[in-house]
Amino acid sequence: MASETLKRTPLHAAHVAAGARMVPFGGWDMPVQYSGIIDEHRAVRTRAGLFDVSHMGEVSLTGPGAVAFVQRLVTNDLDRIASGQAMYTPMCTAEGGIIDDLLVYRLGDARLMLVVNAANTDTDLAWFRSHLARDVSLTDVSAETALLALQGPRASAILARLTREPVDLIKYYWFREGVEVAGRRAIVSRTGYTGEDGFELYAPAEDAVHLWQAILEAGRADGILPAGLGARDTLRLEAGLLLHGNDMDTTTTPMEVPLGWTVKLQKGDFIGADVLRRQKTEGTRRRLVGFVLDGRAIARHGFPVHVDGRPAGTVTSGSFGPTVEKSIGLGFVPPAQAAPGSPIAVEIRGRAVPGTVVKLPFYTRPKTGTT
């Protein structure tokens, strides 16, 4: 794709000025790294990192039918969350295929915000609109919304310096609206995609640069680093979090990937429920698992997974895990090979590199007592 057709976040100029390496991602010109992927990864695990994820799409839903509308589209159960709480959920086709995975923010009983993947925003909007009820009004607020992710063990202390709100009291997957941060208003949410403690801040696009600089300044003594999509990918992989478009798509159901916990068949009818109910009873023909390879060669997306010397599946994500210091990955295997400890191999440049299925996640953060 030519660079002039790529979209830019409100922080694009700041990334370029800071010397970030820019790459196309999901139709956007995004920073893949600043100082280096491993450096940024380690900063997030041990101190703090700040990500610009303004490329994500945000959709506002209002009206008395908003909750019922979303309930019909997603697999998880919105009745399980209160106002002020967020929920992770896949959204499926009638065949159970995952159109996207999203966050649903329950701003009120008739007010929701959906956060969707950048590459899927247009597809999702078309899907929402084709199912829209008359008592719901939908607005795409992606362009006017910036999203910053402040992640890492120092995140809470850094954010606390910029606001009078007791942000450390916000529990995991809860949020507060209209929080004053560095003199600007944001939704502050205790969420993230790194496996660390942290916050995501939704703010007006025009406040993005001010907030970005204020947070980096407030975290300087803690060793905060601006971080790019490269570190975001290694962090999420170590944390066992899936990436739509890599690990799952419309040909994949939540029962085949480790997202069965997000499928609430008791909640009432929703799109895809029939297929997912059947798969829950009968099982699936393949399962997405985590694996560790012997040695340091990396299993890349699309490489064949071998069982007993024969191709039996495919790698969906793979990297060197900078914190676990191993070659790790996610891939599909037959159900018989899905149990932790099962031997597998990945074909890398014509050679079968042995490995082992492991329990996800690869990395769990040390417990600190908060949240």
Partner 1 sequence: MYPKDLRYSKEHEWAKLEGKRVRVGITKFAADRLSDVVYVELPQVGSTVAFMQAFGVVESVKAVSDLYAPVSGTVIETNQSLADKPEVINNDPYGQAWMIVVEPKDLKELDQLMDAAAYAAMTGEATS
Residues that bind partner 1 (CB under 8 A): 21, 32-33, 36-38, 230, 234, 296-298, 300, 319-320, 322, 327, 349
Of 69 and 303, the one with the shorter C-beta distance to partner 1 is 303
Beta bridge partners of 185: 180
Q: Which of 138, 112, 134 is nearest to 126 (CA)?
A: 138
Of 282 and 325, the one with the shorter C-beta distance to partner 1 is 325
Q: What is the DSSP string of 95-134?
A: T--EEEEEEEEEEETTEEEEEE-GGGHHHHHHHHHHT--T
Q: How far is the CB of 25 from partner 1 (least distance, A)?
A: 12
- CA 307, distance to chain mean position in Å, is 30
Tokens of 87: 């929920």
Of 34 and 105, the one with the shorter C-beta distance to partner 1 is 34
Of 37 and 99, the one with the shorter C-beta distance to partner 1 is 37
Query: Please, are residues 148 and 53 in contact by the beta-carbon 8 Å criterion?
Result: yes
Query: Please, are residues 248 and 101 in contact by the beta-carbon 8 Å criterion?
Result: yes
Q: What is the DSSP string of 213-267?
A: HHHHHHTGGGT-EEE-HHHHHHHHHHTT---BTTTB-TT--TTTTTTGGG--GGG
Q: How far is the CB of 9 from partner 1 (least distance, A)?
A: 20
Q: How far is the CB of 228 from partner 1 (least distance, A)?
A: 10
Tokens of 322: 């900078």
Q: How far is the CB of 295 from partner 1 (least distance, A)?
A: 8
Of 28 and 270, the one with the shorter C-beta distance to partner 1 is 28
Q: How far is the CB of 21 from partner 1 (least distance, A)?
A: 8
Q: Which of 124, 5, 129, 128 is nearest to 56 (CA)?
A: 124
Q: How far is the CB of 56 from partner 1 (least distance, A)?
A: 21
Q: How far is the CB of 39 from partner 1 (least distance, A)?
A: 8
Q: Tell how strand 49-52 and strand 351-358 pair up.
A: unpaired
Q: Which of 296, 340, 291 is nearest to 313 (CA)?
A: 291
Of 272 and 322, the one with the shorter C-beta distance to partner 1 is 322
Of 60 and 234, the one with the shorter C-beta distance to partner 1 is 234
C-alpha–C-alpha distance, residues 34 and 339, integer Å: 38
Q: How far is the CB of 304 from partner 1 (least distance, A)?
A: 16
Q: Which of 338, 340, 299, 335 is nearest to 316 (CA)?
A: 299
Q: Which of 195, 194, 197, 132 is nearest to 167 (CA)?
A: 197
Residue at token pair 């050679």: 351
Of 278 and 296, the one with the shorter C-beta distance to partner 1 is 296
Sheet strands side by side (includes 98-108): 85-92, 98-108, 111-116, 57-62, 137-140
For residue 24, whether the previous peptide bond is cis, meaning omega lies within 30 degrees of 0, is no
Beta bridge partners of 290: 330, 358
Q: How far is the CB of 300 from partner 1 (least distance, A)?
A: 7
Of 80 and 296, the one with the shorter C-beta distance to partner 1 is 296
